[in-house]
Amino acid sequence: MKTSDFNFDLPDELLAEHPSEHRDEARLMVLNRKTETIEHKLFKDVVDYFDEKDLFIFNNTKVFPARLYGNKEKTGAKIEVFLLRELDKETRVWDVLVDPARKIRIGNKLFFTEDESLVAEVIDNTTSRGRTLRFLFDGSYDEFRTKLKELGETPLPKYIKRAVEPEDAERYQTIYAKIEGAVAAPTAGLHFSKHLMKKLEIKGIDFAEVTLHVGLGTFNPIEVEDLSKHKMESEEIIIDEKNAAIINNAVESHRRVCAVGTTTMRALETSVSSNKKISAFNGWTNKFIYPPHDFGVANSMITNFHTPKSTLLMMIAAFAGKDFIMHAYEEAVKEKYKFYSYGDAMLIL
């Protein structure tokens, strides 16, 4: 399989800048893998495709406001700092991306507040845009994290050209988000409203949760033509015993098991054993799923529409069949479905 096999023309106007007015009223394309048929619905119609004891598996990661703006000492130049991951809680050391990167060198200091209560010192380079920062803050760890939240803004993907708006803090977060650690939302889950969750519950549908803290690697372009040479960035996964048992029970009972989003699917495929059992898992994954791939847990999935040549498109092509997916994407462009994080959804049965 080659990267170019997953290319298609995506008009700029189909990249969603805003979410749908109501979470569960985004459009929904329904793909049936057996019959290779396509239906056009609204997201709230998803309830019609599932029965009592079927299982939805959600990624309960929570997005933190990871984008900060600081000023470089002496010059006062405005620098964007994107928090990637905390490396050391005690010393307040973080991996970050900086922009513009050419201006930021080891030893530079960045000031985030007028009163200089939050300062960061650059202590290492990681990649061309990556730096390691040590934050200097006179207060407890909890106060430090509160300060980061106060100053940070919702980390909308770069393709969204508009400024962050107040509604983004709520809408770029699933309603079931619990465990903070993601720098990008698990976007298939953004379509679930409280009302829809209640309807699924009333129908007797079961829920399980896994955690995969989505990193920026999700958006990294593939720089190689041979897919076997592409390296995925690692992301942290947590699956506890209780949820592993719920998932295994549904699989053993031959129920419909729906992975909500590519991140959920990645977590499941990382922790499934050769006998199709999910084990409790606490660790990191750099698993790259592309065709052909034998999926071990979910037999249906919900996902948003992804950009050309992306690792996410490759995963769903592995799940639904490459030719069928590329045909469905042609249809999506023709029917003007909205793509990417705030876009419309696809249900693959």
Task: Let me know whether 226 and 335 are in one domain.
Answer: yes
The predicted structure's pLDDT at residue 133 = 97
Please tell me whether residues 138 and 260 are part of one structural domain: no
**Cβ neighbours around 301 below 10 Å, total:** 26
3-state secondary structure of 80: strand
Looking at residue 1, its pLDDT comes to 86
- Check whether residue 206 and residue 84 sit in a common domain: no
pTM score, whole prediction? 0.94
Residue 91 has pLDDT above 90, yes or no: yes
Domain identity same for 126 and 177: no
- Number of domains forming the structure of the chain: 2
CA 275 to chain centre: 28
Non-local (6+) Cβ contacts of 290 within 8 A are 1, 227, 311, 314, 315, 317, 318
Shared domain for 198 and 279, answered yes or no, is yes
Q: What is the mean pLDDT of residues 26-30?
A: 98
* End-to-end CA, the chain: 24
Contact between 250 and 55 under an 8 Å Cβ cutoff? The reply is yes
- Confidence bin at 33 (pLDDT 50/70/90): very high
- Among 213-222, 274-283, 313-322, the range with the most confident prediction by mean pLDDT is 313-322
- In a domain, residue 219? The reply is yes
Residues 185 and 133 in one domain: no
Whether 221 and 319 share a structural domain? yes
Residue 234, φ and ψ in degrees, nearest 5: -75, 145
> Residue 109's pLDDT is what?
96
Q: What pLDDT score was predicted for residue 340?
A: 95
pLDDT of 50-63, one tens digit each?
A: 999 999 999 999 99
Counting residues of the chain whose pLDDT is more than 90, the rounded percentage is 93
CA dihedral of 169, 22, 235, 223, whole degrees rounded to 10: -100
176 plus 27 within the same structural domain: yes
Same domain, 116 and 205: no
Is residue 164 in a domain? Answer: no
Does 157 map to a domain?
no
Residue 162 belongs to a domain: no
Residue 158 in domain: no
Q: Residue 301 sits in a domain of what CATH number?
A: 3.40.1780.10
One domain, residues 145 and 242: no
Which residue segment(s) compose the domain that 120 sits in? 67-151
Could you tell me if 278 and 208 lie in one domain? yes
Looking at the structure, tell me whether residues 222 and 331 fall in a common domain: yes
Whether 219 shows a pLDDT value over 80: the answer reads no
In a domain, 163, yes or no: no
Which tokens go with 191? 């379509």
Whole-number pLDDT of residue 129: 85
304-314 tens-digit pLDDT: 999 999 999 99
Whole-angstrom distance, CA of residue 15 vs CA of residue 56: 27
Q: Is residue 160 part of a domain?
A: no
